[in-house]
């Protein structure tokens, strides 16, 4: 399946979510599509890793490289966002009771749900690894062929979810368009930091850039890279971005204390709209919720675009 067709599923989902945003049924369907499609893809990715004897034998090296790439991406994003945080200070202020209420509704319950999903994903990857190791070699090509159909389904769900949140545009206008500079600085710093770390490890710029463009969204970025490029780089992307999420949870309180709440948004990347959002709210206050959510939403929408872009360079 062509990448342009996958992009069409994403954009089609966004259009459906935007024009039918009042439909509660569409929101439920989107949730089912996201969870089912994601678990199918993660399971297939795990099976492909488990079936590759060279990757299993070289897992320690891949893990070490992933750690360095994660550190590079986090340091780069922090440096870029902090360097320009003086320019973004005014974007931190939130006004309007209606806007605050909407975002309270958005994040209510997301912490527990996201953490449970992360745990489930890790279990599914483990099951996939064992299954791939036990499967006869003839089954694997069939699994690889089915990946793109499941990926198209997942991107449709992602698009619907993004389209349903169109009220974010109103908050961007209210806060000022420079709030968009937060995810752009985080994206640039993440990619440049990962490329620099990848250069030390001997990775090609397009490989390290694709891993960095995952922005902490380990599930989708890893599946995209595994499908488009190689299983090894997909494995590295999965480990890099899951390590980034864990490092973000550890570093956010320190960053908020010493560098300010805006800079604390940086390490979470795309997860600042779900997994790391409650922690950001706790250490940065109510005023950081909307900038953090917008950061995560924009970075999430960039992942399915930037990851394939780097791999085609």
Q: Looking at residue 288, what DSSP letter applies?
A: G
Residue 203 is predicted with a pLDDT of 96
What's the predicted TM-score (pTM) here?
0.77
Q: Are 271 and 216 in contact (CB under 8 A)?
A: yes
Helices 218-228, 140-164: axis angle to 10 degrees equals: 140
Q: In this structure, which long-range contacts are made by residues 242-247, counting pairs with CB atoms below 8 Å and at least 24 apart in sequence?
A: 242/218, 243/66, 243/67, 243/70, 244/70, 244/73, 244/74, 244/216, 244/218, 244/269, 245/118, 245/216, 245/218, 245/271, 245/275, 245/276, 247/70, 247/71, 247/74
Mean pLDDT, the chain cut into blocks of 10 residues (313 residues total): 71 84 79 79 80 80 95 96 70 45 49 62 84 75 72 80 70 69 94 97 96 90 88 93 89 90 92 84 79 89 92 89
- Residue 41, token pair as written in the block: 């893809």
Q: Looking at residue 229, what DSSP letter applies?
A: S
Distance CA 298, CA 132 (A): 34
Distance CA 99, CA 16 (A): 23
**Which residue shows structure tokens 């994601």?**
38
Q: How many CA atoms lie within 13 A of 282 on its CB side?
A: 10
Cα distances (angstroms) measured from residue 138 to each of 127, 141, 142, 144, 151? 19, 7, 8, 11, 22
Classified as helix, coil or strand, 111 is helix
Query: For residue 283, which of 260, 306, 310, 311 has the smallest C-alpha distance?
Result: 260
Distance CA 279, CA 282 (A): 5
Determine if residue 149 is left, alpha or beta; phi over 0 gives left, psi from -120 to 50 gives alpha, anything else beta: alpha
- Residue 219, token pair as written in the block: 């599930």
Compute CA 224 distance to the chain's CA centroid, rounded to the nearest angstrom. Answer: 12
């Amino acid at each position: 399946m062509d990448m342009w067709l996958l992009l069409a599923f994403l954009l089609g989902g966004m259009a459906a979510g935007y024009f039918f945003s009042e439909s509660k049924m569409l929101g439920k369907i989107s949730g089912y599509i996201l969870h089912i499609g994601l678990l199918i893809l993660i399971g297939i990715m795990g099976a492909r890793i488990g079936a590759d004897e060279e990757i299993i034998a070289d897992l320690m090296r891949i893990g070490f490289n992933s750690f360095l790439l994660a550190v590079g991406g986090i340091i780069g994003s922090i440096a870029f966002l902090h360097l320009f945080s003086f320019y973004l200070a005014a974007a931190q202020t939130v006004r309007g009771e209606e806007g605050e209420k909407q975002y309270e509704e958005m994040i209510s319950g997301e912490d527990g749900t996201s953490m449970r999903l992360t745990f489930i994903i890790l279990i599914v990857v483990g099951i996939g690894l064992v299954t791939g190791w036990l499967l006869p070699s003839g089954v694997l090509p069939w699994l690889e062929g089915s990946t793109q159909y499941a990926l198209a389904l997942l991107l449709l769900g992602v698009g619907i979810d993004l389209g349903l949140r169109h009220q974010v545009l109103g908050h961007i206008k209210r806060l000022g368009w420079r709030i968009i500079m937060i995810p752009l600085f985080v994206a640039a710093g993440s990619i440049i930091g990962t490329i620099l770390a990848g250069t030390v490890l001997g990775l090609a710029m397009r490989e390290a850039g694709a891993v960095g463009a995952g922005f902490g969204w380990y599930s989708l970025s890893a599946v995209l890279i595994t499908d488009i490029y190689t299983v090894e780089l997909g494995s590295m992307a999965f480990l890099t971005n899951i390590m980034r999420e864990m490092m973000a949870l550890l570093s956010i309180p320190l960053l908020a204390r010493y560098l300010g709440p805006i800079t604390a948004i940086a390490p979470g990347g795309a997860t600042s709209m779900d997994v790391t959002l409650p922690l950001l709210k706790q250490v940065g206050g109510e005023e950081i919720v909307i900038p953090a959510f917008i950061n995560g939403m924009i970075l999430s929408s960039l992942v399915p675009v930037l990851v394939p872009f780097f791999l085609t360079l």
